Chain A
Amino acid sequence: MPSVCFYFQVHQPFRLKPYDCFKIGHDHAYEDETKNREILSRVSTKCYLPANETLLRQIDKHHGKFKIAYSISGTALEQMEKYRPDVLRSFQKLADTGSVEFLSETYHHSLSFLFSKEEFIRQVGLHRQKIEELFQQSPEVFRNTEFVYNNEIANFISALGYKGILCEGLEHILGYRSPNFLYHPPGNENIKSLLKNYKLSDDIAFRFSNKEWSEWPLTASKFARWVHQAAGNGETINLFMDYETFGEHQWPETGIFDFLSHVPAEIFKHPDFDFKTPSEVIHAYPSRGVYDVHNLSSWADIERDLSAWLGNSLQHDAMERIYGMEREVKETGDERLIDTWAKLLTSDHFYYMCTKYWNDGDVHKYFSHYNTPYDAYINFMNVLTDLEHVLEVNFEKPEHALAAHS
């Protein structure tokens, strides 16, 4: 009995305010509160609230048999608590149905695994705490920021006690094999990898409203037919996407909400199919083989690698500088300072600095509030320079202080 596993990513970064060199040493508040509130509100109105409403109705309609999963970053949850508690309540209402699962990720939606295991563990813990506190769930399944994945990450997550991990279904690794089964990393059967069916996922996320696409318009029944083709050759069809697909990337006028509210019934038309959450999937099905990923992969761009965050020397420089401060920041023991620092680890800050495709004025630009990647880098580095200044002035090391007084 094949299952459809829907998973949606919800994330908002704490965007930085315009921070020029004159603010360094004087202004230690880096967040653009107005912009963050505005964007959260806009996305809530266009996506979160109507999509939650649509999905809640489908769960009720199908008596809890329609199931979905979310991963909501800690920074997004924090902003909801701060600016839009109504949106948070609407997610909690979904949690109350018992048909919605919340996954683990890094609290700050960071790439910390690559730079500091210590920070990675800390952020996974913080996020876990937050999910337990807000949704009364203890996640068994992990998704790393932007689906950054390889064998090492899977093994590391397994060692932390997780039973499942989400990742991209890479054709060059799968070869003839289908992404519609569970796999495990080489030599580790304690964790199962759920692979994104990128074709079917992207049919919704990217192609849905594309009138040039030969399959346009995509109806729920057509989509269900494609899903049903996996019968006999698949156990879990993993449809993983950004939640903002609904209403923000695909506008309401495209019929995306209508599509979403018809998909469950169309899937159920085939008696063998059901919906499962990621943790239900890993308990229901065995691993069918080894998914062996050495190089780091992600779900971004056509390269599906890390080049969107670590593709140029500006990004490397900024990343090295911010992680280079970790020890000093943590040694202060100052929670506010540590939190400020950690919010700067959010991957979006580095994504804004991406110069690849910049010339085409593409999707990267759509997601950035900076005019140019250079502006993004400069703003971030100015903030970092101030943070270094704060560390130097406010948190003088004891031995230095002593030396100064003696």
Chain B
Amino acid sequence: MLGWEFPPFFSGGLGVATYGMVKALSPKVNIKLIVPNASQGISFSNMNIIGLNSISAEQLSIESLKFSYVNYTSEQHTLPLTLSTYHHKNEEILRNQLDPYEEVTAIERNLNSIRSAFSDGHVYGPDIVSKIELYARLVSQLASNGGFDIIHAHDWITFPAGLEVKRASNKPLLLHIHSLETDRAGEGARNEIYHLEKDAMMAADAIFSVSQFTKDQIIKHYGISPDKIHVVHNGIDPCPKTRVPHKLRDKLVVFLGRITHQKGPEFLLETVEKVTRVFQRVKFVVAGTGDQFAHLLETSAYKKLGSKFIFAGFLTKARVEDLLSTADVYFMPSVSEPFGLTALEAVQHYVPAVLSSQSGAAEVLRASLKADFWDTDRYANYIYALLKYEALNQTLSGDAYQELNQVTWVQAAEKIINVYQKFK
């Protein structure tokens, strides 16, 4: 299994999902998980986690490291492009020019430089392209001894590696789509990452998508045959939470996530404007950062809505839990949200959710209030109702909490194993 984010090194849902999935799979499947960065603390039965940040010479027969890099993308990539997956940084990164058939030897990549490359403290970081390339080479090397039946690769950052291992081993390649470039960069995105995703999905033997919504996107934007796409909703492990009533006189609505176009900050702002027109005693807590943060901050001030916002910045997991345990409403107006695990986390804290219909979470949470991402009138009406009508708030949070019993990693793992079995 090829992953990128894995606790404690993760920036979003991918890390949480990879963790939950392998944990549920490990009792039934032997897994070798290769990630750029792993800590020693996590281990499951039947499972071997290899972090390239602490790779050993034994694991990697470094003397024999030979690798021919094949250009996987159908379109040429000689133009400079912005590879800012999650728009953490604003700097432009020039793609390294690669000789498609460059020979790499141990001399070029010694163990230390490998380790340090994956220990730079960034999950993605500015040098993502060379990381991906290096990851692909090392994975290919690690996989060259065989001993596996299936390649299961998570998101585009691992796809070059997946393709390379498939090419070398002739084993079935199963891709897991947690997020698409068309989600992150807008549905018109046709950049290099898009083409990498598309070519990989074309070549793949099967595809897992984290929602029907994402499956539809894959069909619509990537032209992939529906037959080979299997919807496997993410799960959430049962975890009883306690409410901690806040002492504010205002109600709290929580927005949690990167402040990027994908998460719909402009619709958040419009909604805040509309809600506060009819319900004044409310504060919107925005937890997260991103390239749209400054814009959101400035526009909210310009619209004289500053007092309605609390900008909390990026919060640690523990702070997120604290926040959710006091929240009255969870709001996720994403333009395109493959899954949206945070909505389920909110529900775990008995917080009712107002969700964009363009999300996977909306598929698994029937007891939530859903509107098209642009429909801020409807969002506002829903938030108003949840703030104003206590019975609705209670019923929705209770009903949704019950629904979480049907959204577990064990169930997700069963679906995944069913697909594995087709390739045995």
- Does B378 touch A at the CB level, under 8 Å? yes
Q: Do residues B274 and A22 form an inter-chain contact, with CB atoms below 8 A?
A: yes
| Interface of chain A residues 32 through 51 with chain B (CB within 8 A) | none
Smallest CB separation, A95 vs chain B (Å): 44
| Interface of chain A residues 1 through 59 with chain B (CB within 8 A) | 20-22, 24
- Does B247 touch A at the CB level, under 8 Å? no
- What is the bound-complex CA distance between A93 and B98, given in angstroms? 89
- What is the bound-complex CA distance between A372 and B369, given in angstroms? 9
- Does A374 touch B at the CB level, under 8 Å? yes
Smallest CB separation, B261 vs chain A (Å): 27
Residue of A21, A316, A385 ringed by the most chain B CB atoms within 10 A: A21
Q: Which residues of A contact B369 (CB under 8 A)?
A: 372, 374
Q: Which residues of B contact A20 (CB under 8 A)?
A: 377-378, 380-381
Smallest CB separation, B197 vs chain A (Å): 33
From known contacts A359-B366, A374-B396, A382-B385, infer whether A21 and B380 are also in contact, taking CB-CB under 8 Å. yes
Q: Which residues of A contact B384 (CB under 8 A)?
A: 21
- What is the bound-complex CA distance between A51 and B390, given in angstroms? 45
User: Taking CB as reference atom, which chain B residue is nearest A24?
Assistant: B278
Q: Do residues A314 and B392 form an inter-chain contact, with CB atoms below 8 A?
A: yes
Q: Do residues A314 and B395 form an inter-chain contact, with CB atoms below 8 A?
A: yes
- Does B105 touch A at the CB level, under 8 Å? no
Q: Do residues A355 and B399 form an inter-chain contact, with CB atoms below 8 A?
A: yes
Q: Which residues of B contact A385 (CB under 8 A)?
A: 388
From B378, B380, B392, contact of A377 by CB (8 A): B392
From known contacts A21-B384, A314-B395, infer whether A378 and B377 are also in contact, taking CB-CB under 8 Å. no
| Interface of chain B residues 261 through 303 with chain A (CB within 8 A) | 274, 277-279
Q: Do residues A378 and B278 form an inter-chain contact, with CB atoms below 8 A?
A: no
Q: Do residues A312 and B395 form an inter-chain contact, with CB atoms below 8 A?
A: yes
| Interface of chain B residues 358 through 413 with chain A (CB within 8 A) | 366-367, 369, 377-378, 380-382, 384-385, 388-392, 394-396, 399
Q: Do residues A381 and B392 form an inter-chain contact, with CB atoms below 8 A?
A: yes
- What is the bound-complex CA distance between A385 and B34, given in angstroms? 57
Smallest CB separation, A269 vs chain B (Å): 52
User: Taking CB as reference atom, which chain A residue is nearest B377?
Assistant: A20
- What is the bound-complex CA distance between A378 and B390, given in angstroms? 11
Grouping DSSP codes into helix (H, G, I), strand (E, B) and loop, the A interface class, with mixed when no group exceeds half, is helix
| Interface of chain A residues 376 through 398 with chain B (CB within 8 A) | 377-378, 381-382, 385
Residue of B279, B381, B394 ringed by the most chain A CB atoms within 10 A: B381
Smallest CB separation, A198 vs chain B (Å): 31
Q: Do residues B380 and A313 form an inter-chain contact, with CB atoms below 8 A?
A: no
From A22, A317, A359, A372, contact of B389 by CB (8 A): A317
Number of A positions contacting B (CB below 8 A)? 20
Q: Which residues of B contact A374 (CB under 8 A)?
A: 367, 369, 392, 395-396
- What is the bound-complex CA distance between A372 and B355, given in angstroms? 14
Smallest CB separation, A292 vs chain B (Å): 35
Smallest CB separation, B354 vs chain A (Å): 11
- What is the bound-complex CA distance between A318 and B391, given in angstroms? 9
- What is the bound-complex CA distance between A132 and B367, given in angstroms? 46
- What is the bound-complex CA distance between A299 and B394, given in angstroms? 29
From known contacts A20-B381, A374-B369, A382-B385, infer whether A313 and B278 are also in contact, taking CB-CB under 8 Å. no
- What is the bound-complex CA distance between A180 and B367, given in angstroms? 44
Q: Do residues B385 and A378 form an inter-chain contact, with CB atoms below 8 A?
A: yes
- What is the bound-complex CA distance between A118 and B361, given in angstroms? 47
User: Taking CB as reference atom, which chain A residue is nearest B385?
Assistant: A378
Smallest CB separation, A49 vs chain B (Å): 38
From known contacts A21-B385, A378-B382, infer whether A313 and B391 are also in contact, taking CB-CB under 8 Å. yes
Q: Do residues A317 and B391 form an inter-chain contact, with CB atoms below 8 A?
A: yes
Q: Do residues A22 and B392 form an inter-chain contact, with CB atoms below 8 A?
A: no
From known contacts A20-B381, A21-B380, A22-B377, infer whether A378 and B395 are also in contact, taking CB-CB under 8 Å. no
User: Taking CB as reference atom, which chain A residue is nearest B390?
Assistant: A317
Smallest CB separation, A44 vs chain B (Å): 33
Smallest CB separation, B329 vs chain A (Å): 13
| Interface of chain B residues 142 through 157 with chain A (CB within 8 A) | none
User: Taking CB as reference atom, which chain A residue is nearest B386?
Assistant: A378
Residue of A22, A24, A374, A382 ringed by the most chain B CB atoms within 10 A: A374
Smallest CB separation, B163 vs chain A (Å): 41
Q: Which residues of B contact A355 (CB under 8 A)?
A: 395, 399
From B279, B388, B394, contact of A313 by CB (8 A): B394
- What is the bound-complex CA distance between A385 and B392, given in angstroms? 14
Q: Which residues of A contact B367 (CB under 8 A)?
A: 374
| Interface of chain A residues 320 through 362 with chain B (CB within 8 A) | 355, 358-359
Smallest CB separation, B162 vs chain A (Å): 37
- What is the bound-complex CA distance between A295 and B318, given in angstroms? 50
- What is the bound-complex CA distance between A381 and B385, given in angstroms? 8
Smallest CB separation, B319 vs chain A (Å): 30
- What is the bound-complex CA distance between A318 and B392, given in angstroms? 10
Smallest CB separation, B330 vs chain A (Å): 15
Q: Do residues B382 and A22 form an inter-chain contact, with CB atoms below 8 A?
A: no
Smallest CB separation, B401 vs chain A (Å): 14
Q: Which residues of A contact B278 (CB under 8 A)?
A: 21-22, 24
Q: Which residues of A contact B396 (CB under 8 A)?
A: 374
- What is the bound-complex CA distance between A24 and B278, given in angstroms? 9
Q: Which residues of A contact B399 (CB under 8 A)?
A: 355
- What is the bound-complex CA distance between A312 and B385, given in angstroms? 17
- What is the bound-complex CA distance between A358 and B366, given in angstroms? 10
Q: Do residues A21 and B391 form an inter-chain contact, with CB atoms below 8 A?
A: no
Q: Do residues A22 and B391 form an inter-chain contact, with CB atoms below 8 A?
A: no
Q: Which residues of A contact B279 (CB under 8 A)?
A: 21
Q: Which residues of A contact B395 (CB under 8 A)?
A: 312-314, 355, 374
- What is the bound-complex CA distance between A355 and B395, given in angstroms? 10
| Interface of chain B residues 324 through 359 with chain A (CB within 8 A) | none
Q: Which residues of B contact A382 (CB under 8 A)?
A: 381, 385
User: Taking CB as reference atom, which chain B residue is nearest A358?
Assistant: B366
Q: Do residues A378 and B394 form an inter-chain contact, with CB atoms below 8 A?
A: no
From known contacts A22-B277, A24-B278, A359-B366, infer whether A378 and B392 are also in contact, taking CB-CB under 8 Å. yes
- What is the bound-complex CA distance between A386 and B366, given in angstroms? 28
Q: Do residues B380 and A378 form an inter-chain contact, with CB atoms below 8 A?
A: no
In the complex, 29 of the A-B residue pairs with CB atoms within 8 angstroms, ordered by the A residue number, are A20-B377, A20-B378, A20-B380, A20-B381, A21-B278, A21-B279, A21-B380, A22-B278, A22-B377, A313-B391, A313-B394, A313-B395, A314-B392, A317-B389, A317-B390, A318-B391, A358-B366, A359-B366, A372-B369, A374-B367, A374-B369, A374-B392, A374-B396, A377-B389, A378-B382, A378-B392, A381-B388, A381-B389, A381-B392
| Other A-B pairs, 10, CB within 8 Å; known A355-B395, A374-B395 | A20-B377, A21-B279, A21-B385, A22-B274, A22-B278, A22-B381, A317-B389, A317-B391, A377-B392, A382-B385
- The 5 residue pairs across chains A and B that have the minimum distance between CB atoms: A317-B391, A21-B384, A20-B381, A378-B385, A21-B278
B residues in contact (CB < 8 Å) with A: 274, 277-279, 366-367, 369, 377-378, 380-382, 384-385, 388-392, 394-396, 399
